[in-house]
Amino acid sequence: MASKTYRRSTKSSLLLFILLPLGHFLFAQTVTNTTVRSSTLPIHVWHQLEDDQMSILEDVSGELRLKDIETKAFQAFGSLTENLQATYWIKFYLKASSEADTLVVAMMNTDKAQVYIPQKKGYQKTEIGLLSNYTFPIPDKLAKFTLKVPMDQVDFSKPFYLSKFAYTTWSKNHGFRAKIRFMYRNDPDAYLQWISKNTNEDREYLFYLGVVTMSFLLFLAGYVANGSKPFLLYSIYLLTLVIYYFNRLPFVINFWNGLNPDGYYYLNQSLRIATTLTYYIFIYYFLNVPEKFQSLRKLFKVIMYAMLVHGVLYTATIIFFPTFPFRFEMIDYFFLLTTLTSIVLFILMLTKKPDRVAVITLIGSLLITLGGIVAIFSVDALFLLKAVLVETVIFFGVISYQNRVKQNNALQNELELAKEKQEKTALKQLDLVKSRFFENISHEFRTPLTLIKAPITSALQLKETISENDMRMIGNNADRLTTMINDLLSLSKLESGTMRLNLTAQNPKLQLEQLLKQYFSYAQSKDIGFELDLGACNLVAEYDAEILERVTTNLVSNALKFTPTRGKITVTTRLENENLILVVSDNGIGIPLAEQEKIFERFYQVSVKDETRPGSGIGLAMVKEQLNLHKGTILLNSSPDSGSRFTVGLPLKNIRRASEVGTKKSSVAILPSTKNTVPVVTEAPEPKSTSKKPLVLIVEDNPELRSFLSDKLGKTYRTRTAKDGNEGIKKALALLPDIIVSDIMMPHTNGIVLCKTLKSDSRTAHIPIILLTAKSSEKDELIGLGTGADDYITKPFNLQKLQLVMTQRMQLRKLLIQQYKKETLFQLNAEQLVTSEQEFLSKLQKILQLRLTDPSFKVQQLSEEMGMSRMQLNRKINEVIGDTPSNFIRNERLALSQVLLADDKLTVSEVAYSSGFTSPSYFIKCFKDKYGKTPLEYLEKT
């Protein structure tokens, strides 16, 4: 597409290059013909003096006065050698005319000259020329070279004199040849109007100057629009041309006449050099010379610097030394050298096999350069403007095409970057998804590994035989691991394309009945209804039984996982167009519409799925791919909070009727509980017992692991269990156990929330909590310990390690209790207490400071002010301080009595009542039981 656009742009540019000069030629011819016809004057015509009608005198000694010149001998033209440093005096005669009242004299190509007009009373001196001062505004540049003299004031018997010196390049081209023309008219003002109306400068000049000005604005707007540097550089080049030709317009010449007539010349000459330099700079950057023409880069830069230096020197010369002898050579050699250099340089660049854009640009530049040489001989002052018009069209097309290519390349690069970014994002997301996948897989593996490893390790350490119950548990979890490994192997086969169908003749009804019966007990344990209707598939056909098994188990397992208590799952079958239609529906949490198309993607897991329902994210993807392998289909109809319905279509081959045995329609239903609320499992009150075993609360959602831990830890501890975080929090507050062992990933409330809740409650903050998890990363461990957990053990764990950690935590509690027993609350600094006990003991300390001396202050009042039941207060104080609340209060009062006894002013009775005792005798008895002496004996020894 780009190459076609390029070819179209190239052809268009070449066509414009050919047609525009042709159009210009036809237009110029039309203008010229019109000028000739309109310039014909039927009565008054121009007369031009020939060389033999004029004589010349060279004054090499400097400027002379007119009276000295009148005595000089003038010579004929051609007898003297031209000297551009000399002042020339020209002498000529004009004839009188009786038909006109005004003599009009024009002296072309003159900078500064003085014309001496003979009159009857002497000579009148008048300045003429482009750089001379004049006192009237001119309508056209040619008016600066024209004199109007009334006929009755001229003495035609005397000669006319012209004093001329060549200051500028245009006057030196004609040397001392004055090119004097004259005519007679009755209306000189009409003549000037005719000149302004019919000169090429009024028509062609303004036309081409206007076009080039518009081109400048167009390129400048292009730069503003897209920031393209070539547009800016070419607009600067066009600006120098516009100023150069604009400087020749009459109103600009009038401006310079009022300011400094020589300024017109200085600006024009400087702009001629600036035009060439800016064009070189444009070519340098437009063709990307530093990269595409590396061998010519230094030469190109040397040429541009040389132009810049020459332009500065030349401008300074003509301003400060206007009669410098080599002022003409400086500009002539500049244009000669730049012309030759341009031709050679552009040809060298063409030999470097540039691209088509560069070829078109270089060829166009060469043609313009060569055309400039031709223009010198054709004396076409507008050639450069005409050439620039063609050049502008070509360059605008080329630059526009080049910018379009750059934009397309930039867009392509942007698309590639966006694609690369998208791919990186996708890879990053895939990495995150795979990381989550392996994390979930590891979690799925760790629980069954724990239930396999723990009983074996325990049996080996205790040198006991494994019980039948443990053996059964090991077998079940080994089967579970085998199933997960088979899923991974199936996924690997699907990815490699090595999985093949294994079609065998089977009865899908019998297969599904045997497969689904194993879920009945699990559904009952979760109080979920389970209904089967499989009679429609009582037939024999060829299909892949393994694929049907994997599809069914995956869909049913997901339904059980995401269906709440008292929910319902229905599995039905029917035969439709030689396809077994299996429908698994539930009234669980459902799937959002935006995610329904993604759930069949590998590793994808629904956002509403939390970590309490672990999974790998490959089950449904594998179901989809296995069904595709079997030419089957799977459809989903689901909405949030309304459940999901999966419809599977499995093609059957060679279908035939099954045997009469078992052909009756099979329909099995397990109904959920009809009660309004699910009964909450509550622990029976702890029986009174002399057992000193600590109480451990086990919070675990996996029933096998919960039962295993309860059984094994029951030999050392009194155990209570909870199946999730909610139940664990309730039992912890009710029982105040000595230690809690909790899983992290559980339904309803996970172990992190459980730990935060119990550690922030003053009633349970002292209880050590050990978290069990399948997540083994350091980040997860920090999260667990950050909640206040006392320890963090990953699955699969060593049962002996768990028991050792529990023992260490219990011993630490005993050390803390001993510390509190040594000192009373009056002697403890609450800020130095263990964080988990600080709030409880600080509150207890404040209450005692206010109420301890009150004899009516008992355990009941203390429990009310602490916000606990008497049983909770009893357990809490026993755990923290190792004593009963009543003994604790009595000991605190005895500690206070020791402080009061130190005051000799108080009697024993006063100390007893001030310490909160109801009678002095009871105080003395308690004091002696505590310290082994009576209060008086205590005072005697202190």
Reply yes or no: is the peptide bond before residue 159 cis, omega within 30 of 0.
no
As assigned by CATH, the class of the 502-670 domain is alpha beta
DSSP H helical segments within 118-203, as ranges? 169-172, 188-198
The pLDDT, as a whole number, for residue 123 is 92
CA distance 393 to 413: 30
Please give the average per-residue pLDDT across 320-338, as a whole number: 83
pLDDT of residue 380: 60
Give the three-state DSSP class for 115: strand
Query: Model confidence over 175-223: pLDDT tens digits?
Result: 566 678 888 877 766 666 665 555 545 567 788 888 888 888 888 888 8
- The answer to whether domain 46-185 and domain 823-942 are alike in fold is no
CATH for 46-185 (2.60.40.2380, 1.10.1740.10, 1.20.58.740, 3.40.50.980): 2.60.40.2380
The tens digit of pLDDT for each residue in 800-841 reads 778 888 887 777 666 665 655 555 555 455 454 544 566 677
| C-alpha–C-alpha distance, residues 114 and 136, integer Å | 17
pLDDT tens column, 645-660: 889 898 988 888 776 4
Q: Which positions ≥6 away from 319 have C-beta within 8 Å?
A: 266
Task: Say how many C-beta atoms besides its own lie within 10 A of residue 694's C-beta.
Answer: 17
Range with the lowest mean pLDDT among 451-455, 628-632, 778-782?
Answer: 778-782
CA gap 873, 884 in Å, rounded: 9
Q: Could you please report the per-residue DSSP string of 506-546?
A: E-HHHHHHHHHHTTHHHHHHTT-EEEEE-GGG-EEEEEEHH
Which pLDDT score is estimated for 872? 77
Q: What pLDDT does 471 receive?
A: 80
Q: b/e for 371-401, b at 16 or more Cβ within 10 A?
A: bbeebeeeebebbbbbbbbbbbbbbbbbbeb
Q: Which of 23-32, 377-386, 638-647, 824-833 has the lowest mean pLDDT?
A: 23-32
Identify the pLDDT of residue 780. Answer: 56
Q: In what order do the strands lie in the sheet with 503-506?
A: 503-506, 539-544, 653-657
Query: Is there a contact between 712 and 458 (Cβ–Cβ < 8 Å)?
Result: yes
Q: How high is the pLDDT of residue 31?
A: 35
Tell me the CATH architecture of domain 823-942.
Orthogonal Bundle (1.10)
CB neighbours of 639 closer than 8 A, spacing ≥ 6?
590, 591, 593
What does the pLDDT look like over 526-545, one tens digit per residue? 788 888 888 777 888 888 88
Among 257-261, 276-280, 593-597, 743-747, which is the least confidently predicted range? 593-597
pLDDT of residue 194: 60
Per-residue pLDDT reduced to its tens digit, 418-458: 888 888 877 777 676 666 666 666 666 777 777 777 778 77
- What is the reported pLDDT for 685? 45
Return the CATH number of the domain spanning residue range 2-28+203-408. 1.20.1070
Q: Residue range 77-91: average pLDDT? A: 78
Local confidence band at 34 (pLDDT 50, 70, 90 cut-offs): very low
Winning range, highest mean pLDDT, from 290-304, 328-342, 369-383, 794-808: 290-304
867 Rama class: left (phi>0) / alpha (psi -120 to 50) / beta: left
List the domain boundaries for the chain.
2-28+203-408, 46-185, 502-670, 680-813, 823-942
pLDDT in tens, 44-61: 577 888 878 888 887 766
Q: Could you give the CA distance from residue 160 to residue 92 in angstroms, rounded to a whole number?
A: 5
Strands 102-107 and 122-128: what pairing? unpaired
* Predicted pLDDT at 17: 37
Prediction pTM value: 0.45
Nearest to 754 by CA among 767, 423, 680, 312: 767
More confident residue, 565 or 830: 565
**Measured distance CA(370)–CA(344) in Å, rounded:** 12
The 3-state DSSP class for residue 329 equals: helix
Judge contact between 619 and 490, C-beta under 8 A. Answer: no
Per-residue pLDDT at 197: 57
pLDDT band at 696 (very low <50, low <70, confident <90, very high): very high
| Helix 870-880, helix 859-866: angle, nearest 10 | 90
Looking up tokens 């518009």, which residue turns up? Answer: 214
Question: What are the distances in angstroms from CA 212 to CA 240, 252, 280, 389, 396?
Answer: 11, 18, 18, 6, 12
Instruction: Between 497 and 68, name the one with better pLDDT.
Output: 68
Q: What class has domain 680-813?
A: alpha beta
Residue 116 has pLDDT above 90, yes or no: yes
pLDDT given at position 37 = 34
Between residues 845 and 806, which one has the greater pLDDT? 806
Contact by Cβ (8 Å): 914, 923: no
Confidence band for 377, pLDDT divided at 50, 70 and 90:
low
Rounded CA-CA distance 657/538 in Å is 8
